[in-house]
């Protein structure tokens, strides 16, 4: 049955409430409505209610669209007539009919008579009637996702399923629980998850197996979907080779959609989904995963999206008992208590096991495996023991290719299974949706286990319970495989079937395997011991210690402090951080950690991981204190006092930063663990003690080279915005400060504005808490107070004291200048102090113009060369005492070479006020220092009265300059006035401008970004082409590539000299051996306007004809155009093939995009399908004729090659792209 027939059949059977839901969403899409208000259905249900109309929408003009619906199959004529009249009846709608723009009557009566249609329309011309034929056609062709979500019609090729189908599947699935049951004992968690979906683009719900992640995620998504009228789709957990196609389909049709990805850790196209979610604002994604896979999943998601993570805690035994009684009618109290206690929060396990043994003997149930065994044995009753053994082998490998050399297949053959038997059994399992099978283009059958609950059980039974295989042997056998299967198998046994007996088994097997694994490749050994360090703590610590001892030592302190990225790739750090959480081995692990830090054997990013937010805090979140964190601080502080290791100091600073920001990966509250990147701890007395401990630890660094950084950390931690802190913040900070008052003299010891500001903040914190201020301010001089007040007046933050320069007497102003100059050298205070200096000097200039110049001179002469020029003060003094006097007085004290910017401004003052010959000569003489002083725009003021001065200045400047600032002479290349100035002043002699242009390029290659100056100079002197080619050849790859890309804009420039330069570069690149890597930059592949212009195609035609006999050049041109939009790419390839009648370019042209392989974000298969469409377009546009038969035959071969690539990609995707 085709989809349109299936949609029509569903419409024939649809009930009224569901039809109203469908019609509302259908009209919302069809007419692009901004809103819909439902009167004919009960909110959040598929039940109908009385209302006229059934739905209405209000347009931006205040007019209405009315809609009425019917599923009546009897007397349809009267029903439609009455609905139309009711919509026009003001007494029923309350709306003036003149405000109604459109009335839509939707019905499900097939083959409506034309007579009835015309009779209803005759009532009013605004009436439109939409029947099931039209609705079915639109749902099939335009809105398939709507047909899927409301009618349950398969979407695309079946990668997504509707919520109803998802729930229905759970009812028929022997290995999962019933999702139609009520959600119980999760009210608070449910509210939090719905709120998280509201506020975030992605939400991850993780927890132990059987905790109810799928049920709560589904119900939360349904709630959000109904509330906001968003489509909800669930990604089928089974593998689909058509996922890329179906994603494209739903996004093209659905504007607002929420996707639920259950067991996301096993989803093979997750990166594609995340990439689409990142780019699409109207798409949200909710993912569930088991706790054991949480790290890998969140790392992958975090590389694309900010997300909210919620850890769903297991239900209590009491809650599980209540659910078993009320929802599953288990009346046996002893059974409920036994099952609930042993299930250990795994609700699914309890439900699966309790029903089959409700009336039987349950005394033998001792551990979680026993519960799983009871249910799974009943579910597997239809399979022989031989078949179950085969299923176990498939489960432990997870994926099996029936080809020689595949480890799983070889094991099965070794156990006596033949190929036909394996294929037959796999086919049966595929029919039952336990596995998915795929056949490669080469005929190889692949089997992938899909039913995770069954997989977990079979793994545990195979190894730990029935001894059908040695897990130690399995480890050794699979350790070198990509994504070693033993890792996943161990996690399944530990999490799903975990018990003392299972853990003992794993420990024994790991000990056996370790003796051999430790001598294998370092990567394999590290992977093993990192995974199992909790089972083998002594071996892990010894292995890590040996690695540290044998590694070379290094000082990586600067990299640690300067690095933002983190990496968890260090085995020794992993082991020590992990085992520090173990009470038995914590001390040994701590010593190992400090030793590793001191020796600097690992990469800086790995220390940042270990001391950063991921590794700094203990893993046990049920604790109330921070004993482990405090012991880490003590260990590092003590080691620094003993060794003065810079590595230890750096890690101590990073570690305290993690603790002081009070952030961890996870924080448990009310049974839920939230992660939103990082989350702030609730402030407690224990956290206050940790913060105080941080400052005690840092105090060992106060009198060292790290003093400035640790003092800054102290000041910043106790700062606040505004004049006073908020009461709660003050209480929190006071609780820390009161424990470290003895450290105040260490952290606050200088007569500086930063220490004064910190003292004032601390005192304000105490005062807000009604406590006496602890710090005396007597040690700070008045000039320090004045400087701080002047800076605060310029600050955007409301801080006290605030003093304006006008308020202070002259003596205090001059004393404050020294402090302000000191602060200017502190990066955090540069802006405020620089502005304050300018205000102070202006005020001094106003009050004492006769002596101000000497004060300014002394201030600038004693300050760094970067001190800002006091423009306002200089302007004022130039007017009052004269610019020449000002220049002489400043020049007598200040060395011109130390503060060139100051004298540049004095030159500008002269220029603006009409310079005399002496001043102009002096300006020219200053060029001898080789610096860049004035720009072309400044000099234009002089030119009218002193013709030729610009040319004279430029000539001397080009001969003398030797600095990187020459580009400033030209000004902004986007300013047409600057470009026209080159024409005006250098037309007679362009050489100085050309020389300066190339000097400017040396200092800043991209200064002429839009190449406006270059085009102008090319017009002035065409011989510049050769010099430019020489310059371009001297650039490194990155700079040259950027330059060629910008020159590609000359394709559409009418100026022939610019085109000649571009063509010269194309000729040069086409003739170079490595030119293939540069040619693409010379084509405007990202400029849609250029690619659609006639001049581009005329010039491209010319270049192709010129090189039609050169297959290598044609190949390079096709490659250059391979990443154009599809229309331009097809046109270009067609042009080459059409001109190349002899076919010399066949087998050489690049028909595919250079990026045609796609990407995880965009999808791989869709990119390849587009290539097939492009090839078909090229073939269709080729001229007819016998001479083009070989061209068409070649195109068919390329198409076949791409089709094989698609099949290969499906195969790689099926196997997890290993």
- Between 561 and 451, the more confident residue is 561
Residue 671 pLDDT > 70: no
Q: What is the pLDDT of the chain when averaged over all its residues?
A: 87
What is the rounded average pLDDT of the residues 834-853?
93
Q: In whole angstroms, what is the distance from residue 685 CA to residue 9 CA?
A: 67
On the question of pLDDT at 413 being above 50, the answer is yes
What is the structure's pLDDT at 74? Answer: 84
Number of neighbours of residue 828 by Cβ within 10 angstroms: 12
Q: What is the C-alpha separation between 1178 and 1202, in angstroms, rounded? A: 15
Alpha helices, H only, 775-899: 782-794, 810-824, 830-847, 849-861, 871-880, 883-893
- Cα 1022 from Cα 1028, distance rounded (Å): 11
In this prediction, residue 145 carries a pLDDT of 74
Among residues of the chain, what percentage have pLDDT more than 90?
Answer: 52
- 889-923 per-position pLDDT tens digit: 999 999 888 899 999 999 999 999 889 999 999 99
What are 400's strand-pairing partners? 447
Say yes or no to pLDDT of 230 above 90.
no
Q: Residue 679 pLDDT more than 60? A: no
Most confident of 341-355, 484-498, 863-877, 1098-1112: 1098-1112
- Structure confidence at residue 240 as a pLDDT band (50, 70, 90): low
Strand-strand pairing, 37-38 and 55-58: antiparallel
CB 1164 within 8 A of CB 244: yes
H/E run at residue 1120: helix 1111-1120
Task: Residue 414: name the closest of 430, 437, 390, 449 by CA.
Answer: 390
Alpha carbon 149 to chain centroid, angstroms: 29
Tell me the HSE value of 453 on the side-chain side, using a 13 A CA sphere: 25
User: 459: which 2 tokens?
Assistant: 């793994």
Q: What is the pTM of this model?
A: 0.72
Mean pLDDT of 315-321: 86
Q: How far apart are CA 500 and CA 224, in angstroms?
A: 42
Report how far residue 5's alpha carbon sits from residue 1152's, in angstroms, rounded to the nearest whole number.
38
Which pLDDT does position 663 carry in this prediction? 46
CA dihedral over 493, 497, 500, 501, signed as positive or negative: negative
- Alpha carbons 924 and 958: distance in angstroms, whole number: 12
For residue 670, name the pLDDT band (cuts at 50, 70, 90).
very low
What are the tens digits of pLDDT across the range 680-716?
Answer: 446 788 889 999 999 999 999 999 999 999 999 999 9
CB contact at 8 A, 845 and 836: no
- Longest Cα separation, the chain: 114
Give 291 or 578, the one with higher predicted confidence. Answer: 578
pLDDT band at 45 (very low <50, low <70, confident <90, very high): very low
Residue 712: count of CB within 10 angstroms of its CB? 15
Distance (Å, rounded) from C-alpha 779 to C-alpha 100? Answer: 79
First to last CA, the chain: 38
504 token code pair: 């003992």
Residue with the larger pLDDT of the pair 1187 and 171 = 1187
Residue 671, CA distances (Å) to 315, 316, 324, 335, 341 in order: 9, 10, 21, 26, 18
pLDDT of residue 301: 85
């Amino acid at each position: 049955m085709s989809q349109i027939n299936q949609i029509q059949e569903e419409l024939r059977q649809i009930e009224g409430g569901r039809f109203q839901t469908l019609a509302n969403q259908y009209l919302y899409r069809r007419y692009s409505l901004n809103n819909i208000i439902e009167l004919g259905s009960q909110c959040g249900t598929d039940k109908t209610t009385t209302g006229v109309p059934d739905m209405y929408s209000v347009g931006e003009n205040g007019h209405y669209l009315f809609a009425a619906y019917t599923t009546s199959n009897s007397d349809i004529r009267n029903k439609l007539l009455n609905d139309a009249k009711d919509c026009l009846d003001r007494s029923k709608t309350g709306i003036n009919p003149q405000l109604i723009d459109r009335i839509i009557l939707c019905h499900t009566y097939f083959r409506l008579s034309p007579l009835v249609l015309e009779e209803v329309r005759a009532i009013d011309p605004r009436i439109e009637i939409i029947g099931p034929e039209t609705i079915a056609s639109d749902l099939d062709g335009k809105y398939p996702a709507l047909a899927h979500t409301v009618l349950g019609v398969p979407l695309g090729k079946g990668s997504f399923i509707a919520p109803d189908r998802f729930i229905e599947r759970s009812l028929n699935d022997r290995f999962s629980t019933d999702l139609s049951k009520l959600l119980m004992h999760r009210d608070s968690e449910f509210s939090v998850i719905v709120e998280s979906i509201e506020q975030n683009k992605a939400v991850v719900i993780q927890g132990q197996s059987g905790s109810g992640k799928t049920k709560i995620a589904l119900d939360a998504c349904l709630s959000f979907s109904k509330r906001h009228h968003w489509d909800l789709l669930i990604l089928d957990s089974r593998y689909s080779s058509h996922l890329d196609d179906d994603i494209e389909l739903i996004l093209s049709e659905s504007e607002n959609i929420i996707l639920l990805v259950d067991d996301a850790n096993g989803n093979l196209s997750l990166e594609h989904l995340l990439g689409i979610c990142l780019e699409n604002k109207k798409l949200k994604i909710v993912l569930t995963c088991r706790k054991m896979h949480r790290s890998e999943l969140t790392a992958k998601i975090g590389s694309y999206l900010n997300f909210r993570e919620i850890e769903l805690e297991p239900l209590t035994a009491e809650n599980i008992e209540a659910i078993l009684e009320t929802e599953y009618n288990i009346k046996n109290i002893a059974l409920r208590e036994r099952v609930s206690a042993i299930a250990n929060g795994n609700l699914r396990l309890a439900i699966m096991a309790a029903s089959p043994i409700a009336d039987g003997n349950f005394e033998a149930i001792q551990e979680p495996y026993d519960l799983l065994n009871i249910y799974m044995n009943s579910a597997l009753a239809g399979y022989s023991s031989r078949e179950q053994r085969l299923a176990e082998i498939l489960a432990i490998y997870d994926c099996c290719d029936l080809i020689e050399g595949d480890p799983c297949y070889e094991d099965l053959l070794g156990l006596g299974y033949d190929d036909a038997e394996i294929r037959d059994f796999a086919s049966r399992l595929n029919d039952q949706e336990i596995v998915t099978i795929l056949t490669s283009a080469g005929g190889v059958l692949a089997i992938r286990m899909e039913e995770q609950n069954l997989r977990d059980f079979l793994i545990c039974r195979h190894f730990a319970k029935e001894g059908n295989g040695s897990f130690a042997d399995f480890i050794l056998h699979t350790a070198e495989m990509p994504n070693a299967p033993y890792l996943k198998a161990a996690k399944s046994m530990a999490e799903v079937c975990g018990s003392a007996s299972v853990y003992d088994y794993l420990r024994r097997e790991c000990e056996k395997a370790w003796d051999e694994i430790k001598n294998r490749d370092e990567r394999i050994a590290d992977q093993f011991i990192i995974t199992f360090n909790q089972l083998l703590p002594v071996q892990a610590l010894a292995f890590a210690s040996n690695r540290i001892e044998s590694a070379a030592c290094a000082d990586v302190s600067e990299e640690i402090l300067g690095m933002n990225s983190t990496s968890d790739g260090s085995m020794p750090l992993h082991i020590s951080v992990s085992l520090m959480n173990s009470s038995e081995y914590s001390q040994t692990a701590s010593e190992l950690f400090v030793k590793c830090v001191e020796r600097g054997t690992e990469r800086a990013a790995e220390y940042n991981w270990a001391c950063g937010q991921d590794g700094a805090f203990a893993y046990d979140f049920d604790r109330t204190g921070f004993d482990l964190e405090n012991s880490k601080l003590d260990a590092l502080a003590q080691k620094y006092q003993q060794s003065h290791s810079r590595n230890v100091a750096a890690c101590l600073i990073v570690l305290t930063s993690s603790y002081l920001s009070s952030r961890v990966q996870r924080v448990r509250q009310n049974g839920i663990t939230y992660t939103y990147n990082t989350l702030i701890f609730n402030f407690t007395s224990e956290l206050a003690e940790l913060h105080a401990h941080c400052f005690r630890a840092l105090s060992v660094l106060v009198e060292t080279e790290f003093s400035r950084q640790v003092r800054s950390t102290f000041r910043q931690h106790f700062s606040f915005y505004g004049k006073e802190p908020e009461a709660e913040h003050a209480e929190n900070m006071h609780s820390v400060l009161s424990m470290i008052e003895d450290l105040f003299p260490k952290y606050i010891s200088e007569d500086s504005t930063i220490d004064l500001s910190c003292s004032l903040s601390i005192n304000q914190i105490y005062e807000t808490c009604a406590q006496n201020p602890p710090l005396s301010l007597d040690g700070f001089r008045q000039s320090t107070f004045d400087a701080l007040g002047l800076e605060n007046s310029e600050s955007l933050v409301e801080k006290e004291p605030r003093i304006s320069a006008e308020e202070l007497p002259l003596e205090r102003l001059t004393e404050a200048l020294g402090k302000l100059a000191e602060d200017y050298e502190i990066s955090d205070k540069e802006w405020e102090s620089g502005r304050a200096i300018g205000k102070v000097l202006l005020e001094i200039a106003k009050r004492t113009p006769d002596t101000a110049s000497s004060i300014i001179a002394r201030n600038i002469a004693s300050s760094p060369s970067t001190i800002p020029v006091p423009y306002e003060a200089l302007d004022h003094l130039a007017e009052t005492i004269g610019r020449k006097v000002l220049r002489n007085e400043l020049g007598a004290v200040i060395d011109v070479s130390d503060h060139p910017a100051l004298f540049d401004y004095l030159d500008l003052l002269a220029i603006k006020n009409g310079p005399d010959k002496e001043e102009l000569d002096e300006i020219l003489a200053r060029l001898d220092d080789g610096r860049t002083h004035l720009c072309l725009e400044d000099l234009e003021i002089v030119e009218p009265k002193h013709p030729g001065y610009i040319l004279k200045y430029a000539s001397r400047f080009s001969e003398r300059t030797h600095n990187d600032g020459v580009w400033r002479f030209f000004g902004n290349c986007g300013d047409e006035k600057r470009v026209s100035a080159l024409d005006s002043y250098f037309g007679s002699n362009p050489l100085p401008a050309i020389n300066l242009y190339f000097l400017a390029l040396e200092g800043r290659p991209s200064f002429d970004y839009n190449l406006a100056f270059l085009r102008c100079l090319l017009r002035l002197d065409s011989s510049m082409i050769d010099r430019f080619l020489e310059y371009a050849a001297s650039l490194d790859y990155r700079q040259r590539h950027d330059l060629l890309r910008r020159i590609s804009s000359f394709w559409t420039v009418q100026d022939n000299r610019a085109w000649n330069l571009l063509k010269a570069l194309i000729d040069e690149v086409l003739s170079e051996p490595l030119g293939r890597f540069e040619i693409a930059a010379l084509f405007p592949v990202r400029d849609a306007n250029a690619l659609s212009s006639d001049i581009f195609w005329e010039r491209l035609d010319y270049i192709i004809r010129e090189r039609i006999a050169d297959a290598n050049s044609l190949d390079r041109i096709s490659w250059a155009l391979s990443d154009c939009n599809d229309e331009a790419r097809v046109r270009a390839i067609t042009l080459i093939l059409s001109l190349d009648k002899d076919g010399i370019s066949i087998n050489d042209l690049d028909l595919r995009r250079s990026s045609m392989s796609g990407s995880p974000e965009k999808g791989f298969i869709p990119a390849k399908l587009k290539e097939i469409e492009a090839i078909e377009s090229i073939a269709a546009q080729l001229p007819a004729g016998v001479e083009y038969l070989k061209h068409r035959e070649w195109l068919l071969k390329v198409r076949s090659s791409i089709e094989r690539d698609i099949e290969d990609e499906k195969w790689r995707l099926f196997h997890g792209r290993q």
